[in-house]
Amino acid sequence: MIQINAMQARAARKLDLWLGSLHGIGFGDLVILRALRDAREVYRQLDLARQLHLSPSGLTRALIPLEKIHLIERERDARDARISRVRLTETGRRIVDDAEETAREACEQLFAGIPLRDLRAVAGLLDDAGSISERSSKASA
């Protein structure tokens, strides 16, 4: 786990530098924006937090700067003020599409020299581990 965490931290730091200098967002922002772009409907903020494995308060803190720079919009539910919905703006859609290409290029550099089949094997193992962890979390809840 420590090795996985260290690799993730190095990759995220590199992506933060690239994305920040070219698009004004970080890697965590890109993850949020991609989820909103790929959504079929407007997300309830709580559902988005669950999907991204973030605490509701952590997501709220991450959304504030994205809202300030007009990449997302949040609106309160008319019937229940505790519920907020989040959507990507057109500006946000353009940024996420461009930033995704930048992230792809950065990853190609980060993982240059590692055969694609090996990267896919590692990704598959991580997906399997995540699925097992998710099932055990649900079983113990």
- Per the listing, tokens 């991450």 go with 62
Co-location of 84 and 133 in the same domain: no
Residue 141 is predicted with a pLDDT of: 59
Residues 119 and 74 in one domain: no
- Do residues 102 and 72 make contact, with C-beta atoms less than 8 angstroms apart? no
> Is the distance from CB of 94 to CB of 33 less than 8 angstroms?
no
Tell me: the pLDDT tens digits for 80-109? 878 889 999 999 999 999 999 999 999 889
Residue 74's contacts (CB-CB under 8 Å, 6 or more residues apart) are 45, 63, 67, 84, 85, 86
Co-location of 90 and 45 in the same domain = yes
Same domain, 119 and 106: no
pLDDT digits (tens, 9 = 90+) for 4-62: 888 889 889 999 999 999 999 999 999 999 999 999 888 899 999 999 999 999 999 99
Helix axes 90-110, 27-38, angle to 10 degrees: 120
Structural domain of 78: 2-110
Q: How many independent structural domains does the chain possess?
A: 2
Q: Can you give the CATH number for the domain in which 19 is found?
A: 1.10.10.10
- The residue ranking higher by pLDDT, 69 or 4, is 69
